[in-house]
Chain A
Amino acid sequence: MRLKSGTYRVLWEAHAWAGATSSVLLVGMFLLGVVSLFRHELMPWQEPRLRAPAVADEAQALATLQQWLDARVGKDLPPQLDVDLPAPHSPWIRLEWKGGGGAQTAVWVDPRSGEQAPERSDLSYFLFLAHFLYPLPGGMLIAGLVAIVLLLVVGTGLVIQVGRFRKELVRFRPREALRTTWGDLHKVLGSVGLPYQAVIAWTAAIICLNAAVLQPVMVRTAFDGNLDAGLASIGYPRGPKSSGQVSEAPRVATVLAQARAALPDARHYRFSMRNLGDASGYVDVRGHARQGLHEFTTVRVSRTGELLHVRQAGGPGATARLLEAAYVLHSGLYAGMGLRLAYALLGIFSALCVVTGNLVWLERRARGMRRVDILLARFTAGGCGGAAFALAAAFLANQLLPDTLPRRPHWEHVIFFGSWCACVLGALAYPRARAWAQQLLAVSGGILLLLPWLDAWRNARRVFDPTGSPYMFYADVGLALLGAMFLVSAWAIGRIAPRDPRSAQAPLSIPAHEGS
């Protein structure tokens, strides 16, 4: 099947412009997504006190938590408290609540001794949120729009390649002209990753647009303003309001026993305590129960231990199932570590696909760059290289910031976004976009490659030690591999780089069909 030449040109332009203008966020989100896949496994790396294996059993951990709660009833017990129970990757209890002025506070509690320590870093969770642009104002909406753009790019890419798909899957001609080389690499990466990219784009769009736009409006249009009905439809009904009567804290062992009785196959990992210290207090026990594309469970237990509500995996209605399936598909939660490794590889391929697409776009215009093309070239060079640099800078900050620094996790966030912005501004000021991107990638690769040795030196442990903690061993391997990949990318950009755009004369034309 062949498209009409006018249609082909319009779709090619849409594909190229959409990809080029959103490439910075796409590359950043793909890289952050790769790291987010392993956010739980990275916790011992970012928080050295979690590296020692668990020494307390569940009963001991629950008793310690109960003591922590009881000691604060009537004094400084926060009304809302989230408790992450000990898990293989984090053998301490993690508590998080909003303090005075709305500031978030998080501490770790040793389940054996009750020793309390402030959270040193939330790096992996922050990178997970940054993957959805959540920390930025309106970030979820922007992320949803970027996902739509990715879907448009994937769709137009598929249509303009229709009929040649099998050939493009394997054709790579590194000795041909530069435009052909980048084009081949872009098509190979795009063809291999097409189903993955389509699924990731669709699920990201539905997750982000639902949270940012659909849910608030749907309450008015689909549920006629009834917020309770809207929340109940996705399986998270609103709890009772505070009664104002001071009361003791819930018995956590009873709460967990009730949750286990209600959903024996789920792995209950978190207590979300609400109206704590109040007579109307209750606990939502969050859990995982792998049932295909449905995963998340909740059991609501009152302060006095009565079962109030059970949310099975998937939720009560079709919408809840759709939304949960989208999240589970997007996160690769429906299978084990092998799938997450495949997702990580495909995520890196997708980032490379976006970068090579940019290079094709620049190469097409290399003979007639207008000011807007040069600005876009510099912006994408700084933004894409900056995404790699910001990632490396955040990991380096995790190592080098003093442990006693007030609001230490916040400074890691500032360094991440600050270094990304600095890279973009630097690219606009630096005369050669390609050299800037190459240097950023090389520095990022160097930092990530050295991080395992830096951490080993700081914490007096052996680097790449397969007999030690598996979390540390795989974190070392993962960081070193990512660093090596950035270094290879920097080398490749230096070896097969587009012409300097400023010496160009006139744009290359787009053929009516790729083969013509």
Chain B
Amino acid sequence: MSAGARRHLGVSWVLAAALGAPLAALLVCLALPAVIPASSDVRYLVACIVVIPLMAAAPCAALLARSAARAWTGVGVTSAAALLVLWRALT
């Protein structure tokens, strides 16, 4: 990688891709069954099916964002929405 490209991918961006994005994807998968209008078994099935591609694709999406700030914004908004759904389901 060139020095210029290396400078763009700072620690914050790498952290967003390596930690923030997979965590946000996992939270989405956990929250998803609470909002799907289907039977319990189907809701569980959907979570099992989407968890892996989402967690694998999320770091790529964070790396392909235009900036680290945008990557963190995406992580934050997604996680907040998922946590809100989970909070409503678990309380």
Contact = CB atoms under 8 A, between A and B. Distances in A.
Contact of B44 (A12, A156, A205, A319): A319
A509 B45 contact: no
A221 B31 contact: yes
B15 interface: no
B9 A10 contact: yes
A290 B55 CA distance: 32
B34 A209 contact: no
A148 B55 contact: yes
Interface residues of B, number: 33
Interface in B4-57: 5, 9, 14, 17, 22, 26, 29-31, 33-34, 40-45, 47-49, 51-52, 55-56
Interface residues of A, number: 41
A214 interface: yes
Contacts of B5: 6, 9
Contact of A218 (B47, B55, B63): B47
Contact of A233 (B14, B31, B40): B40
Contacts of B17: 14
A156 B45 contact: no
A502 B42 CA distance: 56
Contacts of A18: 59
Given A11-B60, A145-B22, A318-B41, A205 B52 contact: yes
Interface in A1-31: 6-7, 9-14, 17-18
Contacts of A488: none
Nearest to A220: B90
B56 A148 contact: yes
A217 interface: yes
Contacts of B31: 221
Contact of A214 (B41, B48, B60, B64): B48
B89 to A, nearest CB: 5
Interface string B74-89: 0000000000001001
A220 B87 CA distance: 11
A223 B45 CA distance: 12
A170 interface: no
Contacts of B40: 222-224, 229-230, 233
Interface centre among A14, A18, A229, A233 (most CB of B within 10 A): A14
A155 to B, nearest CB: 6
A209 B31 CA distance: 15
B48 A323 contact: yes
Contact of A220 (B55, B56, B64, B89): B89
A317 B89 CA distance: 23
Contacts of B34: 221-222
B22 A156 contact: no
Contacts of B60: 11, 14, 152, 155-156
Interface string A153-187: 00110000000000000000000000000000000
B42 A318 contact: yes
A206 B1 contact: no
A510 interface: yes
B47 A322 contact: no
Interface string A132-153: 0000000000000100100110
B1 A509 contact: yes
Contact of A217 (B1, B22, B30, B52): B30
Given A10-B9, A233-B40, 20 more contacts: A12-B1, A13-B1, A13-B9, A13-B63, A151-B52, A151-B56, A205-B55, A209-B52, A214-B44, A217-B30, A217-B86, A221-B47, A221-B86, A222-B40, A222-B47, A224-B40, A233-B41, A317-B45, A323-B48, A509-B1
Interface of A: 6-7, 9-14, 17-18, 145, 148, 151-152, 155-156, 202, 205-206, 209-210, 213-214, 217-218, 220-224, 229-230, 233, 317-319, 322-323, 507, 509-510
20 contacts: A6-B5, A7-B64, A9-B2, A10-B9, A18-B59, A148-B55, A152-B56, A152-B60, A155-B60, A205-B52, A205-B55, A213-B26, A213-B30, A214-B48, A221-B86, A222-B33, A222-B40, A223-B40, A507-B1, A509-B1
Minimum-distance CB pairs A-B, first 4: A222-B33, A222-B43, A221-B34, A317-B41
